[in-house]
Structure formats: C-alpha cells, structure tokens
Structure 1
Amino acid sequence: MAVNCFKCRHFFTTWDANHPRGCRAYGFKTKELPSALVKRTSGIECLKFERKQGEGHKQ
C-alpha cells in the first residue's frame, strides 16, 4: 500500500511555489509528494513514514 504523506509527521508544506511539499526525515522539498519521489528514485516505498500523533489507523 502506498504511503500517505499527508498522514506522516515528517511531511510539511512550504511557501516555495516550485517546491510546495517537503519531508523533514529525508531533508528535501519537491513539487510532487515526497513518498512518490522516494519510490520513483529508489524503487522502494518510503521507510521513514511515521503516522502523525492523533491519526487513527485508517488509510
């Protein structure tokens, strides 16, 4: 199952219109979802996903 960055504690939104999404765990900003970039470049699902506190187990 694909990682949902919006439910990850490392995900953040930036003010940079060219790179509006970021990942604190990997330390980068991107135009696409960070998990999609990780999957595309490494060939594996994101290994840094940590569910936000207060988020249930629903996907």
Structure 2
Amino acid sequence: MVEKLPHCLQCVHYFITHDPGRPYGCRAMAFKSQVSPGRVVFKNSGMICQLYSPKKRDLNPSGSKKLA
C-alpha cells in the first residue's frame, strides 16, 4: 500500500510559476509541471518525495503576546 503523498503546498520548495502550461514548481528538484510536483515525483520514481520539507509555521504571526 502506498503512503499518503505529502502536500506540496506545505513544502518550502513549492512555488507557483507564471507559466500557464506548467503552473506548479519544485525548487529543490528544479522543475515545473502541470500537476503537483509530488505526484510527478511519485509517478516517475515510485517513491514519495525525499526532499519534502514542511514550512515552519509561526503560531502567533502578529508578534504580539496573547492576552488571557
């Protein structure tokens, strides 16, 4: 059984291109595609992307302290 593919939107290497024919890209693997880069990697290698790195989330993006 195949593990769940990572969500490229949550990866630091993912980017949106200005190319209408290939709108999705991966900086780590230096390519653009018509579909999610993670799907392309899995289709061509049979492996889940090994370069997936989740974005770091700031739990309090405003920088202010939460009041109780």
- For 1:26, the equivalent position in structure 2 comes to 29
Q: Percent identity of the aligned residues? A: 34
Higher Cα Rg: structure 1 or 2? Answer: 2
Root mean square deviation of aligned Cα: 1.4
5+ residue gaps, structure 2, are 60-68
SS of structure 2 residue aligned to 1:12: strand
45, 51, 54: which is aligned to 2:48? 45
SS of structure 1 residue aligned to 2:44: helix
Higher relative contact order (CA 8 A, sep 6+): 1
TM-score, normalisation: structure 1: 0.89
2: distance between equivalents of 1:55 and 1:22? 24
Whether contact under 8 Å (1:21, 1:29) holds in the other structure is: yes
5+ residue gaps, structure 1, are none
Whether contact under 8 Å (1:7, 1:55) holds in the other structure is: no
What is the aligned length? 56
Where in structure 1 do 4 or more consecutive aligned residues deviate above 3 Å?
A: none
1:13 equivalenced with 2:50 (yes/no): no
